[in-house]
Every structure is written in C-alpha cells, then in structure tokens.
Amino acid sequence: MKLLRYGERGAEKPGMLSAEGHIRDLSGVVEDIAGATLTPEGLARLQELDPTSLPIVEGSPRLGPCVGRIGKFICIGLNYSDHAEETGMEVPPEPVIFGKATSAVCGPNDDVIIPKGSEKTDWEVELGVVIGKEARYVSEEEAMDHVAGYCVVNDISERAFQTERCGQWIKGKSADTFGPIGPWLVTRDEVPDPQNLRLWLEVDGERRQDGTTATMVYGVRFLVHYISQFMSLQPGDIISTGTPPGVGLGMKPPTFLRPGQVMRLGIEGLGEQRQRVVAWAG
C-alpha cells in the first residue's frame, strides 16, 4: 500500500494511493496515518479494504508529511562510505545517531526556507524507515518485523550550524521545513529489499546525487536492531538512514542552496519530492 496525508498544513486527512494513481480518502476508516494505524494490526485492516469503495479525492490537493504525530525523528550520519570520504570524515565504527526536531517536518513539495543567518544550507536525499511495532532490544533477525514501511526524506542541513557552531549536529538539522517526508509511506510488503533501491537528487535540473542503498555501511535491519539497544522505537518514529555522495559540502568548491532554486529528489518505488527554496522572511 501507498499511504499518504493530504490537505492544508495542520489539517491533513489520511489517504491511500490507488493503483490507478487516484487519492482515496481514508478519513472514514482511520483518524490519521499515525500511531495504531501503523501497527501490524492497523495495516492489516487497511489491506482488507477495497480501494474502489473509498471516496476519490478530486483535484490535486497539497500532500502533507506521510506520517502524522511523529514521536522521534532519528538520523544516521556518515552511513555511506563515499559520502564520508567527500566530507573529509572517517566511516564510524558504529552508527552515528543524532536527532532532528519534529518541528522540521513538512510535506514533500512544501517550500524549504533558508533559516536566518544561514550561508550553508545543503541537501541530502535519504531512505526513511517508519516504525510500526514497538522495538526494544530487538535482534537483527527480528528487526524487520518492527518496520511498517519506507518513505523519501530530504535531510536538509545547515552545515555551519551543524559543524562550526559547537555542540551537537541537531542545530544544523532542525530548522523549520528541514524535514520533508513523503509523498507516500510505502508499506514493507511492497519493498522486497530496502538495500537495493536507487536514490537521486537534482538542483535546478542538475543531477547532484545518484546512488543506491546497496552501499550503506549499516543497513536497515542492523539500524533498527542497533537503535533499539539505546531507546525504544514506537509506531510512527522515523529513522533517516544517511545519504549517498553528492551533497553541496562535498563539491569543489562547496556549493549551497540559494533562494529561487528547486530541488527534485526520489527513491525507486517510493515516489518523488519537489521543493522550492525561499529566503527566511521573518
């Protein structure tokens, strides 16, 4: 299934994308694409539905974040060896874990705002893993049983805030609009191998990133297991699994986003995002 949320910001409704490409309204069935809806029992209930029995949503509504009420937005740093090389850092002996504020979350096609004082706002296409079943001290063998599905994430980053202002990376990762997710949550049954997905990103039509999840240092199964040793994972939590090479920081010379530019990015089978970059106007 491809699950989504549509409508105005803060008032999104749950939906499903039909095989014909129509948005079907799920608001008469579930309250949101969140929490209990993402559990194995919740998804099984949706699987039993006949999509043609659901109302068609007319027009082209705004798509919101594909998951609502996200509890934790966990990111993995330097998880592609060639990306670590381009940033001048070593591949870590264990996964680098950091957080992204949930207030950064926005829809897949919403404008991305360059924050006040930013000079180094950067792009990062990433595979997002959506948790569907509580995970606490799970083994690698059990880890995939706790995954509801996958989505596209643009882990937008302000590099000066991230690495030049002391403290933790979260400062450079959490500005409003720095977490576009979607367009859809694609359930696990439709993604046979999350370690064999092509992912890419363009800025103003120029291909900047073009990689595959096959080159992850730490794969999805291991990451769910590993993170669950330090914190419980709850339905609706998102793990953003790292980015392949081609970020602005790694270009020679480094190149960063400017107002008026357009990012387009996607992952095989998981859909595409498109964001216009705008200046902060506070």
Q: What is the mean pLDDT of the chain?
A: 96
Whether pLDDT at 60 is above 70: yes
What's the half-sphere exposure (Cβ side, CA atoms, 13 Å) at 57? 24
Which candidate, 60, 65, 93, places its Cα nearest to that of 79?
93
Question: Left (φ > 0), alpha (ψ -120 to 50) or beta: where does 20 sit?
Answer: alpha
Token readout for 25 is: 């309204």
CA distances from residue 128 to 76, 124, 180 in whole angstroms, order as listed: 10, 12, 11
Nearest-5° Cα angle at 123, 251 to 160: 75
CATH number for the segment(s) 65-279: 3.90.850.10
Q: What is the pLDDT of residues 178-210, one digit of tens each?
A: 999 999 999 999 999 999 999 999 999 999 999
pLDDT digits (tens, 9 = 90+) for 122-133: 999 999 999 999
Parallel, antiparallel, or unpaired: how do β-strands 147-154 and 185-187 relate? antiparallel
First to last CA, the chain: 40
- Segment 132-141 mean pLDDT: 98
- Tell me which amino acid residue 194 is: P
**Structure tokens given for 242:** 């790292």
Q: Are 94 and 226 in contact (CB under 8 A)?
A: yes
Residue ranges covered by each domain of the chain: 65-279
